[in-house]
Amino acid sequence: SPTKAQTTGTLTLSITTTEPAGNYNGVHVIAIWIEDTNGNFIKTKIRYADTRIQYLNKWVSASLYNVTDALTGPTRSGHGTINVSWNATDVAGITVPDNHYRVYVQMSDQNAAGASTFLEFAKDTNAQSLSLPDTLNFTNMTLSWTPVPAGISALSASALRFQCSPNPLCGPAL
């Protein structure tokens, strides 16, 4: 079977968390991770959790606690905007094949499984910008995929200058 393209690029996600009806008055645990549409875990991007990590049950099940290259920290003490970027690689640092992927978000501020949502996008040679409707306790969600062009067009003009001296095959230096 033919090998699928592996376009490089950057995914950016911006999401604002809001106060759920939980017990902890702004204090919450949160995880953001990438999966393919078959449910295969790709990479954790953010995991903020200490003692209540088990309430990120969807993330735990998907990742088996894998935080390779993830931004991690203690339980968050307040809500606000979170910005995430992904370079289209898996936990081994290999660029994943072009396909549809999902960015999952799960958050909890109580002693129970937290609310979750996912955002789906196509990782390929086409740029995308999505603004998504507010859902649960997640608002102002935007997602952008920016592929890196392949081939010589991706080179800068300065990278196209050549110098070959002292080489008798080259003419006089300009």
Q: Is the dihedral of CA 133, 138, 142, 143 positive or negative?
A: negative
Contacts of 142 (CB under 8 A, 6+ apart): 12, 13, 14, 129, 130, 131, 132
Confidence (pLDDT) at 3: 64
- Lowest mean per-residue pLDDT among 100-104, 121-125, 165-169: 165-169
Beta bridge partners of 141: 132
Confidence (pLDDT) at 166: 56
Residue 102 has pLDDT above 90, yes or no: yes
| Residue type present at position 93 | G
d(CA 46, CA 157): 36
pLDDT tens profile 123-158 = 999 999 999 899 878 999 999 999 998 654 444 444
d(CA 23, CA 118): 24
Confidence (pLDDT) at 172: 53
**Environment class of 68 (CB within 10 Å of its CB; exposed 0-12, middle 13-18, buried 19+):** exposed
Evaluate if pTM is beyond 0.85.
no
Confidence of residue 91 (pLDDT cuts 50, 70, 90): very high
- Enumerate the H helices of the chain as residue ranges: 57-63
C-alpha of 63 from chain center? 14
DSSP assignment letter at 3: P
Confidence of residue 31 (pLDDT cuts 50, 70, 90): very high
